[in-house]
């Protein structure tokens, strides 16, 4: 039997309101000020500018993260993470067999245009 999902919502009252776009990680470093291992990533969204994101993608090497295409939610409020502030939410899912909160990226499988909107 399939697990029950959350209640159905209207497209125009939910997904349509999110501005989710393709970005490219142009710089990445391990952040030492956060409670758990976290990467500080500078992500280029083309004409939508560069944004700083902090995320627990540390099961991936820095070399694997740099230049990766990612999907980011551009219209969420910045989020305080201890002493640092994340300007954009980079989408991810639980990394297999990793500690809770450690993520792997939701990414395009082809070289999509930076700034492209998810639809």
pTM: 0.92
Question: Do 50 and 44 contact (CB within 8 A), yes or no?
Answer: yes
Structural domains in the chain, CATH included, are 19-105 (2.40.50.140)
Q: How confident is the model at residue 53 (pLDDT cuts 50, 70, 90)?
A: very high
pLDDT tens track for 29-39:
999 998 899 99
Q: How confident is the model at residue 100 (pLDDT cuts 50, 70, 90)?
A: confident
Report the C-alpha gap between 94 and 82 in whole angstroms: 21
């Amino acid at each position: 039997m399939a697990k029950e999902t959350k209640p159905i919502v209207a497209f125009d009252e939910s997904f349509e309101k999110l501005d989710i776009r393709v970005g490219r990680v142009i710089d990445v470093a391990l952040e030492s000020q956060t409670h758990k291992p976290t990467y500080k990533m500078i992500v280029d969204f083309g004409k939508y500018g560069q944004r700083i994101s902090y995320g627990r993608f540390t099961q991936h090497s820095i070399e694997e993260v740099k230049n990766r295409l990612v999907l980011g939610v551009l219209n969420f409020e910045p989020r305080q993470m201890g002493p640092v502030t994340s300007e954009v939410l980079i989408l991810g899912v639980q990394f297999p067999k990793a500690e809770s909160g450690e993520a792997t990226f939701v990414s395009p499988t082809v070289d999509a245009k930076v700034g492209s909107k998810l639809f």
